[in-house]
Each structure stands twice: as C-alpha cells, then as structure tokens.
Structure 1
Amino acid sequence: MRAFFVQIKCDLGKSYEVASALADAEIASEIYSTAGNYDLLAKFYVEDEEDIGHFVNERVQVLPGIKDTFTVVTFRAF
C-alpha cells in the first residue's frame, strides 16, 4: 500500500460538505480542516499497482464542491 495526501480547495462555504462527502465515500483514511491556501487535507492509501492520478481524478475530484486539488506523493514514513 502507498500513502499520499491531497490538499483540497473547496468552493466558498462548502468545506464541511466536501469533508462529509469524503467521509461518506470511505476513500480517505484521515481528513483534516486546514488554514492557508487549501481548506482540507486528506490522507489516502492505494495498492502499489494503482495509479494515484487516476484515483484522484476519478474518486476525489468528482465530488461536488471541490475547486482544486494538490497531490503530495510520499515515499517513506518514519
């Protein structure tokens, strides 16, 4: 399994709805509200052979209220 994070910018006033939609979809292991350029930070896991770009395109970015995303691919946890 590979872990990666997605920073999510939401439409104005939609952060809680987007966070709830992510939680309801059961695709993120953790979801946090954040300050700064993005509204949410979500942690995901995919199988080693699964394409992260397709996962983000097909499972995350399609949720209503998401304006933009920034994906952070990780290498190793310490």
Structure 2
Amino acid sequence: MRQFYVFINCELGHTYDVAASLVDKLDEAPMVHSISGAFDLLAHFGIEDDGDIGRFVNEKVQTIPGIKDTQTIICFNAFTRDRGLG
C-alpha cells in the first residue's frame, strides 16, 4: 500500500461536512482529523502500490464539495514497534 496524507482547507462552515464525506465515501481514508493551524483537516489515505496518488487526489479528494485547497504529503517508510530499524 502507498500511504499519504492530505492537508485540507475547507470552505468556511464546511469542515465537518467535508470530513464526513471523506470517511463515508472513500474506503481509502481510514482516518480524518480536524486540526488547528493553517489547515482544517488532515486525512490519511492508503491506495494500492500501482495507484497514482496525484490522480487519486485530483479526482477523488479535490472533487468533494466544500474543499477549497489541498497539500499532499507522500510517505516513504512507516516505523512502528513491530517494524523499526533494528
């Protein structure tokens, strides 16, 4: 799986609607957080290894009503207690 995060800015008054749409409509979004700072939401996504992240964000995420802007962060490695460096 290819893992990535998307910071999302929403139209005023639509943050909770956007969050609900992401988790309800996209199986690839296991978790969406409301956050403080420059963005309204932080969404975690996982797509198949041969998936196109740019196309996914463009066609599946940015088309959700109420989304104003996005910034995508692509993950290289995941470090967990059961899968670390050693």
TM-score (norm 2): 0.88
Higher alpha-carbon Rg? 2
User: Which residues of structure 2 form unaligned runs of 5+?
Assistant: 80-86
Q: How many residue pairs were aligned?
A: 78
- After TM superposition, list the pairs within 5 Å mapping 1:36-55 onto structure 2: 36-55=37-56
Same amino acid, percent of matched pairs: 54
- Aligned-pair distance for 1:3? 0.5
Work out which structure has the larger RCO, using CA pairs closer than 8 Å and 6 or more positions apart in sequence: 1
Q: Residues of 1 paired with 2:17 and 2:66: CA distance?
A: 8
User: Which residues of structure 1 form unaligned runs of 5+?
Assistant: none
- For 1:16, give the aligned amino acid: Y
The one-character-per-residue Cα deviations of 1:16-41 (angstroms, maximum 9, x if unpaired) are 00001111103311100000110000
Q: Residues of 2 paired with 1:69 and 1:9: CA distance?
A: 6
TM-score (norm 1): 0.96
Superposed CA RMSD in Å reads 0.7
